[in-house]
């Protein structure tokens, strides 16, 4: 029941693609449905599906981050090099998030408030999460780095004792950080609010924005970064020697753990032992965080099974394709749904018309994804074709 490289990586893109589709339907129905349609159960269920993409994107960012760190460690990058590489990537995503807000403000110039420039959106939180995970990995890896490590570029054997010990430490640290973020969220949203900070900074902690109270529709560090660290723990677990050895059985254990978390969350919530001065199950409670992580673990197992034994990777997969370019389709579809270039008038459509618009968005984003992949592939072919010729010219002294 060992897993091949395709199924090990394909399920991640498949999950990203699923998050994109859920994001499309949530945004399309929210932006286009009329008042009467918004009062329907159809709209309620469509918005419920929209609760999955944000934690799923962060969770997958954590898994991918662990894979990157594992690859860098196998290539014998030093802790400082790993930290610089990963933190720089997080800073790039954060910069893209700020650039996205600037673009949205420029397009909506004249009616959008200036405070929209500083709204904490999902890209901002992913960027901050990557930087925080980079710092955590540096703290955990640096003390155990031996001076006699092989030189950079010489592969390190997988499953060596120091590597196994540090992987266990990384998994433990990621779990503890995720739990701490979840545990402090209710306090930082209520009685421990850092109101002494400017709202531009406080918003990154609890999503207060400039509205005086934390907003549940924003994506502050507390609790959203916790999903990234939960994914980081799972990623390091999947990269461990033990998980590599048992292959696909690891995902069965992951699914079982997800079920345990779901029932544990429901049990804890039923006890009514609320230790927080203000308890809000659906937004800030650790129990709600726990059940969402459990659902993410179940989705990971289902996605792996779908890609390994189901039709997930039989021929062309639209979800995997969208998952490969999730940042691009996120960026573009927002403008076509909510922005000035919307393909349908806002808040005035029936369910049927909005569904036709959703299908149009899906096809358009899939075509854009394919175009981007094709152009990038051709660019790489040109670069790879030119490298040997450039090397030959240098050898000849030309």
Distance CA 265, CA 297 (A): 14
Tell which wins on pLDDT, 339 or 90: 90
Give the residue among 276, 274, 393, 304 at the shortest CA–CA distance from 3: 304
Q: What is the pLDDT of residues 330-347, one digit of tens each?
A: 999 999 999 888 999 999
Q: CA-to-CA distance for 363 and 210, rounded, in angstroms?
A: 37
Number of structural domains found in the chain: 1
Judge contact between 228 and 61, C-beta under 8 A: yes
Tell me how far CA of residue 177 lies from CA of 86, 213, 285, 356, 394, in angstroms. Answer: 18, 25, 16, 43, 50
pLDDT of residue 6: 37
To the question of pTM greater than 0.85 for the whole model, the response is yes
Please, what is the angle between helix 286-308 and helix 249-270, to 10°? 160
So what's the pLDDT on residue 152?
44
pLDDT value, residue 3: 43
Bridge-partner residues for 33, per DSSP? 349
77 vs 9, more confident? 77
CA distance 393 to 398: 5
Q: Give residue 334's domain range.
A: 5-396
């Amino acid at each position: 029941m060992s897993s091949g490289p395709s199924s090990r990586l394909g399920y991640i893109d498949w999950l990203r693609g699923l998050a994109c589709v859920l994001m499309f339907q949530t945004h399309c129905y929210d932006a286009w449905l009329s008042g009467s349609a918004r009062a329907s159960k159809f709209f309620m269920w469509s918005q419920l599906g929209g609760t999955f993409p944000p934690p799923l994107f962060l969770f997958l960012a954590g898994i991918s981050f662990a894979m990157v760190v594992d690859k860098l460690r196998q290539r014998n990058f030093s802790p400082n090099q790993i930290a610089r590489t990963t933190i720089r990537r997080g800073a790039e995503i954060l910069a893209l998030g700020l650039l996205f807000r600037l673009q949205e403000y420029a397009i909506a110039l004249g009616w959008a408030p200036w405070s929209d420039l500083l709204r904490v959106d999902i890209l901002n939180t992913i960027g901050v999460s990557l930087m925080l995970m980079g710092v955590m990995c540096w703290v955990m890896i640096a003390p155990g780095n031996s001076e006699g490590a092989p030189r950079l570029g010489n592969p390190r054997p997988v499953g060596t004792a120091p590597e196994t010990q540090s992987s266990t430490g990384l998994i433990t640290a990621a779990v503890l950080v995720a739990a701490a973020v979840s545990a402090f969220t209710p306090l930082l949203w209520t009685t421990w609010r850092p109101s002494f900070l400017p709202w531009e900074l406080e918003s990154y902690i609890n999503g207060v924005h400039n509205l005086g109270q934390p907003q549940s529709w924003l994506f502050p560090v507390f609790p959203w970064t916790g999903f990234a660290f939960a994914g980081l723990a799972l990623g390091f677990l999947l990269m461990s020697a033990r998980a590599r050895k048992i292959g696909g059985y690891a995902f069965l254990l992951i699914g079982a753990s997800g079920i345990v978390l779901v029932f544990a969350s429901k049990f804890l919530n039923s006890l009514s032992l609320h230790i927080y001065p203000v308890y809000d199950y659906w937004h800030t409670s650790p129990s709600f965080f726990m059940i969402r992580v459990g659902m993410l673990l179940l989705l990971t197992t289902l996605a792996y099974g779908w890609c390994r034994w189901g039709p997930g990777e039989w021929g062309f997969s639209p979800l995997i394709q969208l998952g490969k370019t999730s940042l691009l389709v996120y960026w573009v579809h927002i403008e076509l749904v909510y922005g000035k270039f919307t393909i349908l008038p806002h808040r005035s459509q029936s369910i049927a018309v909005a569904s036709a618009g959703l299908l149009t968005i899906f096809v358009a984003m899939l075509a854009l994804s394919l175009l981007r992949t094709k152009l990038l592939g051709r660019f790489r072919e040109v670069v790879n074709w030119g490298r040997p010729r450039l090397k030959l010219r240098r050898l000849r002294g030309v």
